[in-house]
Copies of this chain bind each other. A is one copy, B any other.
Amino acid sequence: MEDTLHDHAVIPRTDDEKDKVLKRLRRIEGQVRGIQKMVEEDRYCVDILIQISAIQSALKNVGYEVTERHMKHCVTDAIDKGEGDDSIEELMAVLKQFSK
């Protein structure tokens, strides 16, 4: 991770913004524990797959949230400073990894 452009969000997240994302991530953590329980109880594979797919979906939504905020703050800030291309190329690299 040492080669990304910053260590912290360029425009700090507000407490509200953090809370919203944290709430979603805690819910996802609970869903992952839920699947562990399903495996322990030897539940039907398809039911487990449905739950994995629900987590994928929830994670994707967190990813979209983070991406949109990133564009509206960090990338916008970079463009305002005339350094947009580096920031856009960095984002493209992570989007490509994402959709793999």
Binding site for B on A (CB under 8 A): 1, 4-10, 12-13, 18, 21-22, 25-26, 28-29, 32-33, 35-36, 39-50, 52-53, 55-57, 59-60, 62-64, 66-72, 74-76, 79-80, 84-85, 88-92, 94-100
Contacts of A40 on B, CB cut-off 8 Å? 18, 22
A32 touches B28 (CB 8 A): yes
- The reply to whether A94 and B50 form a contact with Cβ atoms under 8 Å apart is yes
Residue contacts A-B, CB under 8 angstroms, 28 given: A4-B47, A5-B44, A8-B41, A9-B42, A9-B45, A10-B44, A18-B40, A22-B40, A25-B39, A29-B29, A45-B66, A46-B70, A46-B74, A46-B90, A48-B66, A53-B94, A53-B100, A56-B56, A56-B59, A60-B99, A64-B95, A64-B96, A67-B92, A68-B92, A71-B92, A72-B84, A72-B88, A100-B100
